[in-house]
Amino acid sequence: MARREEVQIKDDGIRLGQFLKLAGAVDQGSDVKAVLAAGSVAVNGRVETRRGRQLRHGDRVQVGEATYTVSRR
């Protein structure tokens, strides 16, 4: 069963690498590079490999079977 989760951020945007760590999609920041290089991350339905990609409120990030939605506090 696919997991869906809303992840709240306090600012207007957040970088993808930081978001993956905040959401718990990776254990450590050093794991981000490998996950992105493997093509395992999609933002709004498109594969994303840039760790610095800026995410905004409403963006959807998919990692494997899990989908995270960026939400502003």
Residues 6 or more apart whose Cβ sits within 8 Å of residue 27 = none
Q: What is the CATH number of the domain that holds 33?
A: 3.10.290.10
Domain that holds residue 28: 3-72
What does the block give as tokens for 32? Answer: 């981000």
Strands 3-9 and 46-47, sheet pairing? unpaired
Q: What is the pLDDT along the chain (73 residues), one digit of tens a residue?
A: 678 999 999 999 999 999 999 999 999 888 999 999 999 999 999 999 999 999 999 999 999 999 999 998 8
